[in-house]
Structure 1
Amino acid sequence: MLTLENLSCPIDATPLRREQRSLKCEQGHSFDLAKTGYVNLLPVQNKRSKDPGDSKEMVASRQSFLNQNHYFPIVQAVLDSWPKSHFLKGMRVLDAGCGEGYYLDEISQALSNQNIQMERCGLDISKWAIAAASKRDKTVSWIVGSNASLPVPDERFDLVLCLFGFPVFTEFSRVLSDNGLMLLVESGPEHLIELREILYPSIHEYKQTFSDGVSGFDLVLEQAETFTFSLDSQEKIQNLLSMTPHIHKASYEGREAVQQLESIILTADIKLRWYQKQAKEMNHV
């Protein structure tokens, strides 16, 4: 399967063509492929920091945690809730904010077992995440890039996945084919509540995201998924903490309290929402 096909130059949006170990556009912009096969399509002028996204250490922590399959029930929930009319052979899938590739890899393996093959593209703003992902599966197009300006042409994909990421709906709509699907997976009100109660003196009230809907999309299905899992070492607890926003938000006292734990049983509370792109004549101007 060819990878890194049908992409756009992040500087002038013209098509990129593969020339040996580089992608080049007609304006002369060139992007070299890394040794593991990914490409960095995040120009310096589009970076808000020198090293945006998750750090090398955060990626390593997430990879260690996810590879233990504590979150595999999320993969199963995605598969179980997937609108069956969109189980298409050869569908083109973008994982927008793919991290180190765990979810895209597990989902595609499960579908492959049902003889459903996908053309897969994983994009993340962290070069460390994409470097790790590119070692996981060579048949995926792995791209360092931003959801705010996806380096792909219009109507490039049939499905956009955004699991615990930062959705940019105008871009997702642009790159989706007519009636294409978008999946948002986010934390629910009780997610990691046991850990949060140790980290914080009080728990903020849960606020539903996108409660007024998403412009240009119709909500197809909404589903909550709750399960428990246990971590039996301080190292595993720290790996989980390092991949959450709480590592930055929690107080010193809260983090110190977590460091005293040797085990913990945690609740995972996940909200899945499937959306379908509205037909062009229905799109808001």
Structure 2
Amino acid sequence: MQLIDIGVNLTHPSFAPEREALLARAFQAGVEQLVVTGTSLDDSEAALGLCQALDDQQRLFCTAGVHPHEASQWNSASAAVLRGLLAEPRVRAVGECGLDFNRDFSPRPQQEKAFEEQLAVASELHRPVFIHERDASERLLAILKDFRDRLPAAVVHCFTGERRTLYRYLDLDLHIGITGWICDERRGTPLQELVREIPRGRLMLESDAPYLLPRSLRPKPKHGRNEPAFLPEVLRCVALHRGEDEADVAAHTSACARAFFGLPRRAE
């Protein structure tokens, strides 16, 4: 079974001492390709640099964008910088961008402005979008609807929402990213029931490492940090709650991710 991790925060400082070893463990675990998440323009530059430095086998790709937590950094020059990043072959999507009305680390008007302008760049360059949303689905949908016809695709990363929200995302022809949240017996139960309702061709898997260590993982790492090598546990839980074979889920989610991000098939 070969998996594609569509969201790993490889630039996170906790990974700095052992990024090569971490990637080796991921490849050994069957994670064939990874998409490194960019969360600010500087972080997106760093993500691109890691892809170029650590991979010569078409395994690592990245996104470029400004997370809603960093939206206050978005300014008149940001769109041009983003366009420059998107000209790089390793950069496959705009994001992580969106709205977060849960923590409000950036003022909501600035979040909305940064999101709208990133969607405009994605529309102009015909790039897919990697979306973050927390407690903001109504406003996010309202903004996204104006751009959706001009976007090739968009994925709501780390989906944890309710049934109504899922249906509205699917009605807008969005993709859905599932993380280790589904492995959590405390707060993941609603998602365990909903995951079977995500159509094939719209479902992708992600670690969101170093966050969201699957609670069902055994044995648990002593450091308590998630990493892409644990993505097979997310696969196991998704397959269990969809009533599908693990190999089948691995195949259709990886095919979906490859099509969404335009990832090449690797020569074995």
> Fold conserved (TM > 0.5)?
no
Q: TM-score, normalised by structure 1?
A: 0.32
Q: Which has the higher strand share?
A: 1
